[in-house]
Structure 1
């Protein structure tokens, strides 16, 4: 059971990096929208696992995307930020329910799942584009990119989530 769990996370990690680097980094909707679907790894990662290992894996995820995208550790900083803030975001969305041993993301409502994913994406994109632009003069550009790329990322992540999730039937 444990080896199956690790194998699944390694497969998710590898496939999300490959899909991001080989497909989504090459897309340019409207000239500037590149969805960042690799955030799904942080969304799908089990709740009750070692937090230090999770943050280290998030760093490796972001660094591997940075390596292939030539983005100077912007993805690594963004993924570490949302990995660190994930328990706070979960407490905001799910209340104290997520702290129980029996909590599973699949047992929550669809609205809570979408809210959780949307907040992860918003925080990730705000950190990423703030570091990319690195100027308060262009705050509207940061907001424009965060909203437009965030919406595209959310839609694609929901599509991927519906394709690869196990049905409850």
Structure 2
């Protein structure tokens, strides 16, 4: 029997790919800002799940975005990188607390959640735009894109997160 969390993850995966491909890949704020909200899947994925399955799903997520965006596996490389670095980022943000069985992302403070999401986005965008531009002579362009698109992605991810979060009262 399939668990409820697997069903939710499949729905999140499919919806985030569809929203990214059909909506956000077509948006161009100020001519060059395309938010990448599919990173929310890597943020929302359960912490205590199988790490190999998580990295495999991250690869499939990036590859499916690459397939529809025609970006030659740059998204796949970026999502695998943040999937691999996620435990180190979590250890940096949450300390050793996240290693306990009872730890849940929803129980962390808002500042910790914001920092965790921001670090995932910045690392993803740094890898993505470094691979896309791939030139040290364009270092300022890489930094400009990383900062501006990371800010737009962070704002939209926070909006989506607050829109689809379950409130405990």
Taking structure 1 as the reference length, the TM-score comes to: 0.99
1:23 paired with 2:45, answer no
| Structure 1, unaligned runs of 5 or more | none
State the number of aligned residues.
169
Task: Give deviations 1:31-76, integer Å, cap 9, x for gaps.
Answer: 0000000000000000000000000000000000000000000000
1:86 paired with 2:89, answer no
| Mapping 1:58-73, distance limit 5 Å | 58-73=58-73
Q: Kindly report structure 1 stretches of 4+ aligned residues shifted beyond 6 Å.
A: none
Q: What's the secondary structure of 1:81's corresponding residue?
A: helix
Taking structure 2 as the reference length, the TM-score comes to: 0.99
| Structure 2, unaligned runs of 5 or more | none
Distance 1:66 1:6 in 2: 24
Deviation at 1:4, TM superposition (A): 1.3
Distance 1:116 1:51 in 2: 18
Distance 2:128 2:5 in 1: 30
Deviation at 1:2, TM superposition (A): 4.8
Q: CA RMSD in A?
A: 0.8
